[in-house]
Amino acid sequence: MAIARSVTYDRQHECLVLANGERRSGFDIDDFLLHWLDLKGMRPVDLKDALKRVRGGEYATADVTLDDNVDEEYSVRESVSFMFRNGKLGVLASFASDAYGTEEEATTALVPLLEVYLQHKRATLIEVGLNENSFHPLVWNVEIQCSTRGRDMADLYRIGEGAVALLEAFESGQLTRETTLNLLRAGNASVLIGQEEGAWLDVKSAHYDLTTSAGKIAIAQAVARFANGEHGGIVVVGMRGKKVPGGEVIHSICPVPVDARTLRGYQTALEQHLYPPPDYLDLEIVPVEGGSLVILHIPPQPEEHKPFLVHGAIVDGKVEGAFIGIVRRRGESSIPITAPAIHATLAAGRALLRRGELPRDVV
């Protein structure tokens, strides 16, 4: 049985028709305006086929708005749109910046940054170019090709949105966990200098001493703090912090030596001292001048997996291997989860188990 198309092109009325029957026109006959909610469940192959039917299949675009009412003339268009050209559907992300006077300057600065980000998103950078039709004098277009397997148009939109956020963070220094991770991967660790450590970022100037139990427990605690928090976090080994009034900021890059055993040592320490293993924990080595950085990225974890337990503790400077520790992140400091809180969590879980509301393999 044929699958109903999520979007089609109405040649007679020169508009896109959504699966629910709503129509989307645009400012021009080869430009259409979609709402963000239209993208959820819209298959890329369907939008590609619809745009291919516009004006002989040479070129067509679909902009996106977040406005409650879609008005092709007055609705505000977002910085991410879609473009059909040369038989392919691409994502177009627009970024306003006067930091680059020529396309060569923009390409040199932005391409390495974008390529690393897109590689992790199963996408490819096609080109960075100046938007000659923009009212702003220096708007740069970033054209992206995305793998569409298992994705809808909302997924492709978010990839373009992430590219814009990354470029804006790179220029302004206002960072999030995800943009920070992409900047580090792209070799732009210097952007972090002057940034505060805090709820999702921690740096360490030297390797954990994984030849000792204390060092292994320390790395497990560092990861557990973020895994038990709300927002996940990043630990960067190879950067130095500096205390300032009210907290600590990143002061400098101090690369660390690595070899083939480095990541395995980190992984083994976490396997031995952290339970359960955090979902999608990334351990990466990023080369920088003079050595490398080791990055531990802990995405936000499902609440049902918490608390993450550390096997072992340091008490009065001594290793207590039989202890079980629970730590989490609050701002810049680590705090133990209290005994009453632990008891309440266990009691609630057992109560649900008794009523049959919690699978036994969760406990």
pTM over 0.85: no
- Mode of pairing for the β-strands spanning 139-146 and 123-130: antiparallel
The answer to whether the Cα torsion of 66, 72, 75, 79 is positive or negative is positive
Using CA atoms, how far apart are residues 8 and 226, in angstroms rounded to an integer?
A: 45
Cis-peptide into 307, omega within 30 deg: yes
Map out the domains of the chain with their CATH numbers.
7-172 (no CATH), 193-362 (3.30.950.30)
pLDDT of 138 reads 85
Q: How many CB atoms lie within 10 A of CB 149?
A: 7
| Matching residue, tokens 């080869």 | 30
Using CA atoms, how far apart are residues 243 and 159, in angstroms rounded to an integer?
A: 36
Using CA atoms, how far apart are residues 77 and 31, in angstroms rounded to an integer?
A: 12
Q: Would you say residue 74 has pLDDT above 80?
A: yes
For 181-201, the pLDDT digits (tens) are 989 988 888 888 888 888 899
Using CA atoms, how far apart are residues 223 and 310, in angstroms rounded to an integer?
A: 9
| Matching residue, tokens 């990043």 | 234
What average pLDDT does the chain have? 89
pLDDT of 331 reads 47
Structure confidence at residue 268 as a pLDDT band (50, 70, 90): very high
Among 7-11, 92-96, 346-350, the least confident range: 346-350
| Mean per-residue pLDDT, 79-97 | 95
- Whole-number Cα distances in Å, 309 to 5, 224, 273, 328, 330: 48, 7, 8, 10, 17
Q: Would you say residue 334 has pLDDT above 70?
A: no
For 20-47, the pLDDT digits (tens) are 999 999 888 899 999 999 999 999 999 9
Cis-peptide into 277, omega within 30 deg: no
pLDDT of 358 reads 56
| Mean per-residue pLDDT, 324-348 | 67
Structure confidence at residue 363 as a pLDDT band (50, 70, 90): very low
Q: Would you say residue 154 has pLDDT above 50?
A: yes
Percent of the chain with pLDDT over 90: 61
Cis-peptide into 276, omega within 30 deg: yes
Among 4-13, 33-42, 47-56, 306-315, the least confident range: 306-315
- Mode of pairing for the β-strands spanning 333-336 and 327-330: antiparallel
pLDDT of 330 reads 59
